[in-house]
Amino acid sequence: MVFKIIDNDYERLRDWWTNFVGYPASMQVMIGLEKDREIICIFGYDNFNGKSCHQHIVYKSGEYVQREFVWYVYHYPFNQMGVDMLIGMTPANNEKALRLAKHAGFVEKYRIVEAHPDGDIVLLTLFKQDCRFLNYSKGH
């Protein structure tokens, strides 16, 4: 298996995102992970304001995501863009996404009642100092 981080092919990432989730991607920045030349995961970022930005994630269920990629997708907003907080939103009934976000260190802040066709939307935040993935190093 050959893994590759893609951070310089926005059009390809945008098209994959749109086909995968069924609606157009509107992120300002997208970082993808490719396994054997097939995209398996994308992190997207938008609404940068100097202090925070929104993070979006899509991935193929059952795929393994390398530690180096996880480090990079948190290094980018926190260290390269200099934000202090990431903001994520997910439907309350998407238990898999909520588990993933909480595993990453996100904390539930608000529930927006009936803001999604399936019910509530959960707003989560992650502060830089709480991001355990920034301590990963390549190969460890």
pTM attached to this predicted model: 0.89
pLDDT tens digits, residue range 31-82? 999 999 999 999 999 999 999 999 999 988 777 788 899 999 999 999 999 9
Structural domains in the chain plus CATH codes: 3-135 (3.40.630.30)
pLDDT tens digits, residue range 95-134? 988 998 998 899 999 999 999 999 999 999 999 999 988 8
Distances, alpha carbon 9 to alpha carbons 15, 30, 47, 51, in Å: 10, 9, 20, 26
**Percentage helix, strand, coil for the chain under 3-state DSSP, each rounded to 5:** 30, 40, 30
Say yes or no to pLDDT of 139 above 60. no
